[in-house]
Structure 1
Amino acid sequence: MKNHFPRLAALSVVCVAAGATQAQTVLQVSTWLPPSHAATLAQNQWCDAVEKGTQGSVKCNLLPKAVTAPPGTFDAVRDGLADVSYTVDGYTPGRFVFTQVAEFPFLGDSSTATSVAYQRIYDKYFAPLGEHRGVKALAVFTHGPGIIFSVKEPVSSVADAARMKFRIGGGNINELSKLMGWNTTLKPATSSFELLSTGVMDGTFFPDESLQSMRLSMVKYATTFPGGLYNTSFVFMMNEAKYNSLKPQERAVIDKVSGESAARLFAAGWDRTDAESRDIQKQTGVQRQMANSAFVAEVKKKQAALEDRWVETAESRGLKNAKAVLDEFRAEVQKVK
């Protein structure tokens, strides 16, 4: 009688391998920023951590292009066009209120400080109120301090800014610009090159890194503010049904590498590329200036009304003691520093 054990053993290996393949969950991951952008790289690092933590039972497929234009990303993830992505809350004006707390001026001088503090406040106060309902919010974060960049002349005062046209990304800076009397247009970051290179806009509001990631070599002037003129609130998210379909141990891995861990991941990349951009700006002759005290005072005066409005609106949506939450957030930023 022939010995069939080797064939049976080989068949068993094939079957086990096939079973493992069938059991693997592949997350479809979308990004609307360039492949080399810090946020895209951070998302990829998160994917690597998920695959490693689940021993390969969950992995990511990085889609070759975004499944939708940036403003549609939240709904695309909610509806399952992609399983994982991130978006700017302010790209859909009026939809998110609590997130605006991370967009106010003069918060902090790094993405890490504001992002980690924001994640802690989000977990404590905002997540239970479900403003990001429809998706699994994996983390929240901000970019680095917001700066006024211009092409033809510097912006040294409120009046200087009022003579120009700027691209902005939405959120609190949109409302602040209106109160300041500035001519601003809400457009995604990815529209900046065309708007500035064609002269449709005279400048843009961005963190430092965006001069390189958006290829804005035409920019010649930068006006910075202590703690930033603004920040932009991002949410890193996952399709809720996909998250719920995972095994408990797989969800546990995702939870472990999300929250503050993911916020720090995104923030570290942003801080690194901000610093690299500042070095490049020195080499390319971008003229930088800090806003003078009169300029800062005028911004603070207008912003005070917006913060009062935010407190009122946030409380109407269920947040108790919103002013105290804002104060706690600012204190948390200082702790992270």
Structure 2
Amino acid sequence: MTSPRLTTLALGATMAALAVCSFSAQAQDKPVNLKMSSWVPAQHPLNPSLIAWAEDIKKASGGTITATLFPSEQLGKAFDHYDMARDGIADFAYVNPGYQPGRFPIMAGASLPFLFSNAKGGSAAIDAWYRNYAAKEMKDVKFCFAFVHDPGTFHSRKKITLPTDIKGMKIRPATSTIGQMVTSLGGTNVQASAPESRDMLERGVADAITFPWGSISLFGIDKVVNFHMDVPLYVTPFVWAMNKDKYDSMSAAQKKVIDDHCTSEWAEKVASPWADFEFAGRAKIAALPGHEVYKLTPEQLAAWRAAVAPGEAQWAEGVKKVGGDPKAIMDALKASLAKTNSAL
């Protein structure tokens, strides 16, 4: 009969051997360096989160997967990031689906007004929800995760309190969904990526912008607008997308490391520092001389909710055109938001 001590020793030896085999397998994996593209400025709070995410991948892969982050549109314009991930210009790319109207109709539902209350739980919620649709809607890339910024609002040169104030205004919308809202209220859309927005406002090409709070100062937009509606109007959905060929070229062990870092938990983890930054921006803007941060009355808020309600029907038509069930899709998003305590 084998003694308990010998059994323990044998088990320990077996575990050690397995660990050595695992380490050897990692060591034999071909080194991979990932080109990660982020179009926001180098000092943007999203970038350190992406670097921390990559460092965790390096550790989990035994050093066989490393990454280099290229911020500030070094590899290409913000509007092009989905195609950059598809074509291998970047191995990972930070995508704003709303920059390309009509291309991602399901994801567009997440930027409908008055859905999200916060970005932390909201990022986990949108990721869990969109996983059911990403393989079809974003079939050209490997979907890693989705996330949102903290709710944004109108920042403008004149005070906006009612939906009727939008008529005749030129507004840079955050997404195509918000652009449709602006058009329905009688405004004109001015298309510009976040890095281009200050210039548009400075030159008078736009009168207002929809933007999250902290980024107003980060992009210098606080120098050209001074009225800020204090209401969680919308969020912008983003996707961290990977080039399929790069993923397919990896070993099974490396693919698992990537899969383990493309989860709802990582979506929330990556989004959280940015969420804190944007949330803190409200107080900073309010403290600036010459700036007015104002609340809406219950009557004004009710008018906004009524005015934007038709936008969901417009979104639904786009979803139907690609064979989706808009009611089921929106119900699923709202259920996911409720589960993470991020519904408005």
Residue 210 of structure 2: aligned partner: 205
Is 2:279 the partner of 1:275? Answer: yes
Which position in structure 2 is the counterpart of 1:101?
109
**What letter corresponds to residue 249 of structure 1 in structure 2?**
A
Alignment of 1:158-177 (within 5 A): 158-177=163-182
CA drift of 1:22 comes to 8.9
Of the three residues 124, 131, 151, the one matched with 2:137 is 131
- Identical aligned pairs, as a percentage? 27
In structure 2, runs of 5+ residues without a counterpart are 1-25
Shift of 1:134: 0.9
- Cα distance per residue 1:169-205 (max 9 Å; x no partner): 3221011111111222121011112122333322211
Q: Deviations over 1:117-139 (max 9, x none)?
A: 1111112x3134x1111111101
Whether 1:23 and 2:30 are equivalent positions in the alignment is yes
Return the offset for 1:297.
Answer: 3.1
Residue 98 of structure 2 is aligned to residue 90 of structure 1: yes
> In the alignment, which residue of structure 2 is the partner of 1:323?
327
2:85 is the counterpart of 1:77: yes
| Structure-2 residue corresponding to 1:240 | 244
Contact between 1:102 and 1:142, CA under 8 Å: does it hold in 2? no
String of CA shifts for 1:76-118, please: whole Å, max 9, x gaps.
Answer: 1110111111111011111111101210111122111322111
Alignment of structure 1 residues 107-118 onto 2, 5 Å? 107-118=115-126
In the alignment, does 2:50 pair up with 1:46?
no
Q: 2:193 aligns with which of 172, 177, 188?
A: 188
Distance in 2 separating the partners of 1:35 and 1:173? 27
- In 1: Cα distance, 2:48 partner to 2:80 partner: 21
Q: Is the 8 A contact 2:84 2:93 kept in 1?
A: no
Per-residue CA deviations over 1:307-326 (Å, capped at 9, x if unaligned) read 12333432442334x31331
How far the C-alpha of 1:21 sits from its partner, in A, is 10
User: Matched residues in 2 for 1:33 and 1:247: separation?
Assistant: 31
- 1:150 paired with 2:141, answer no
Write the distance in 2 (CA, Å) between the matches of 1:69 and 1:96.
19
Give the drift of 1:39: 2.2
Match of 2:220 among 202, 215, 235: 215
Deviation at residue 248 of structure 1 after TM alignment = 1.0
CA distance in 2: counterparts of 1:21 and 1:287, whole angstroms: 60
Q: Aligned ranges for residues 246-285 of structure 1 at < 5 Å?
A: 246-285=250-289
C-alpha distance in 2, partners of 1:35/1:279?
A: 23
CA RMSD of aligned residues (A): 2.1
- In 2, the alpha carbon distance for the partners of 1:159 and 1:312 equals 25
- Aligned amino acid, residue 257 of structure 2: V
SS in 2 for 1:74: helix
Q: How does 1:1-40 map to 2 (within 5 A)?
A: 23-40=30-47
Cα displacement (A) at 1:293 = 3.4
* Structure 1 runs not aligned, ≥5 long: 1-18
Aligned amino acid, residue 89 of structure 1: P
Amino acid at match of 1:25: V
Residue type of the alignment partner of 1:245: S
Q: Measured at CA, do residues 296 and 134 of structure 1 come closer, stay the same or move farther in structure 2, by a change above 3 Å?
A: same
Runs of 4+ that moved beyond 6 A: 19-22
TM-score computed with the length of structure 2 as normaliser: 0.84
1:293 & 1:168 partners in 2: Cα distance?
Answer: 24
Q: TM-score, with normalisation over the residues of structure 1?
A: 0.86
CA deviations 1:227-272 (Å, max 9, x no partner) are: x222212111110100111111111111111121231023202211
1:32-82 per-residue CA deviation (whole Å, 9 max, x = no partner) reads 101121222222121111111111100102236521111111111110111
Letter in 2 for 1:155: I
User: How far apart are residue 220 of structure 1 and its match?
Assistant: 1.6
Q: Indicate if the aligned counterparts of 1:98 and 1:131 stay in contact, CA closer than 8 A.
A: yes
